A = this chain, B = another copy of it.
């Protein structure tokens, strides 16, 4: 914890809590705590609609909790742990998703998104 979490304003912490206070968003956050994932992978794992996943990711991003990286058609999301000290503290609070729900390396070549 290089920069103290406690230096954040209560307004910001409340916004983080509100953002993660939705079951589906917290679940997406927990997925990203284990692996960087593209939107279609999250959509497949979560059984939410693509539109819904996209909207949840936008809120997570707006709260400074995730970052994105484009690779061809795919946009990969991951937690913003490096820049945001709150993220690593939150990770300690949430249960880890089972590893077997994630696509395997062999299935993840993205010739087409079949997840």
Contact = CB atoms under 8 A, between A and B. Distances in A.
A22 B16 CA distance: 10
Interface residues of A, number: 29
A10 interface: yes
Nearest to A17: B21
B14 A21 contact: yes
Contacts of A93: 5-6, 13, 86, 89-90
Contacts of A10: 23, 26-27, 30, 94-95
As for how many copies of this chain the complex holds, the number is 2
B14 A20 contact: yes
28 contacts: A5-B92, A6-B92, A6-B93, A6-B94, A6-B96, A7-B95, A9-B95, A10-B27, A10-B30, A11-B23, A13-B26, A13-B94, A13-B95, A14-B21, A14-B22, A15-B21, A16-B21, A17-B17, A17-B18, A17-B20, A17-B26, A18-B21, A18-B22, A19-B21, A20-B21, A21-B21, A86-B93, A90-B93
Interface of A: 5-11, 13-23, 26-27, 30, 86, 89-90, 92-96
